[in-house]
Amino acid sequence: MCPGIVPPYLLRHLSQLDRDDLRAASEAAQRTLASPFPPRPPRPTATPSRPPSTTAPTGPDRTISDAHGTQSLPGEVVRREGDDPTGDPAADEAYSGLGATYELFARAFDRASIDGAGLPLLATVHYGRDYDNAFWDGDQMVFGDGDGQVFGRFTASLSVIGHELTHGVTQYTANLTYQGQSGALNESLSDVFGALVEQHARDQDAAEASWLIGEGLFTDQVQGTALRSMKAPGTAYDDDVLGKDPQPATMDDYVQTSDDNGGVHINSGIPNHAFYLVATALGGHAWERAGRIWYDTLTAGLEPQTDFADFAAATAAAAAQRFGPTSREHGAVREAWSTVGLPIGDTGTTQ
């Protein structure tokens, strides 16, 4: 299954509504849930999980296609690299968002595209009818238009575009298993770099940033600001239709569930909050120090089934290696993980 930005529990909740004023949203959620993610096209050769990143960034190579309300990929090409804007907000937002994501990884981490080797960036807009999701399918981005009652178009949020493309970066590096804690880390890493894409594009420092994932997705009929909050997990929305944001901020509230691949969209709030704490403790542009530590960790050879404790220890080791074991950065990492309930001992493992 390809990860989507909207958790399945939200879509199920919407699909079960029996309200005349939200019938369109309910039916759109039903269709979205019933639509299988498209199969990935066969690759000419197997893709290694950790290919060398030796290509110098030279600029993105973007192609935007339009599915025209169908679920056929990739659709009709409407904009290629260097073309003028189309005038279609979804196509032009997708083009800009792919570029902003490329720019973060190129400028902050010297990474040439998603695979580190200049992979062309592909996206399809207007996928399906009122489709309530966006996802990375292993080869390209896919964006729905939303139902117009609860969700607007999914290209409108830069953090969503950065989030989903980062699933591609994870695919080409740690390739974290999409289940349980490793799956929650997969989701969290996408939130981390999705937030950094937005902050980098806006030249925001950690104190200025909203730390919201999916800000701008909800219509004005929803009592909520975004899908998730890294600053305060569990507070992104509290709505009579959607319910309350279920994310925990610490291990004290960790959710044991078999739903959503073992709670990957819920428990990601814990490592999300740890990153927020590191970034705000260090201040400045979050991609320069906190983001560098997380990127070093992601690309250092994590095991696919890495859990929270091992990831916490790995970020501490990455901070010590890059900035020194007595550095402010290393101290901030250790303090953040302790705050969320994963203290790191002197031996470099969580206690």
Q: Look at residues 313, 322, 320 and name the one whose alpha carbon lies nearest to residue 342.
A: 313
Residue 286 CB partners (closer than 8 Å, separation 6+): 195, 196, 199, 205, 206, 209, 279
Q: Look at residues 67, 191, 212 and name the one whose alpha carbon lies nearest to residue 131.
A: 67
Place of tokens 């101290």: 331
Q: Cis link prior to 3 (omega < 30° from 0)?
A: no
State whether residue 256 is helix, strand or coil: coil
The span from the CA of 234 to the CA of 247, in Å, is 5
Question: In whole angstroms, how far apart are CA 336 and each of 245, 251, 280, 347?
Answer: 22, 12, 10, 17
265 is catalytic: yes
Catalytic residue among 200, 265, 285, 330: 265
The span from the CA of 344 to the CA of 16, in Å, is 43
Catalytic residue among 93, 126, 163, 164: 164
Q: One-letter amino acid identity for 150? A: V
Which residues pair with residue 218 across a beta bridge? 151
Q: One-letter amino acid identity for 136? A: W
Q: Are 100 and 161 in contact (CB under 8 A)?
A: yes
The DSSP letter of residue 163 is: H
Which residues pair with residue 229 across a beta bridge? 212
76 is catalytic: no
Which residues pair with residue 334 across a beta bridge? none
The span from the CA of 161 to the CA of 29, in Å, is 20
Residue 185 CB partners (closer than 8 Å, separation 6+): 176, 268, 271, 306, 307, 308, 311
The span from the CA of 32 to the CA of 35, in Å, is 5
The span from the CA of 114 to the CA of 36, in Å, is 24
Q: Look at residues 91, 210, 247 and name the one whose alpha carbon lies nearest to residue 154.
A: 91
User: Which residues carry out catalysis?
Assistant: 164, 265
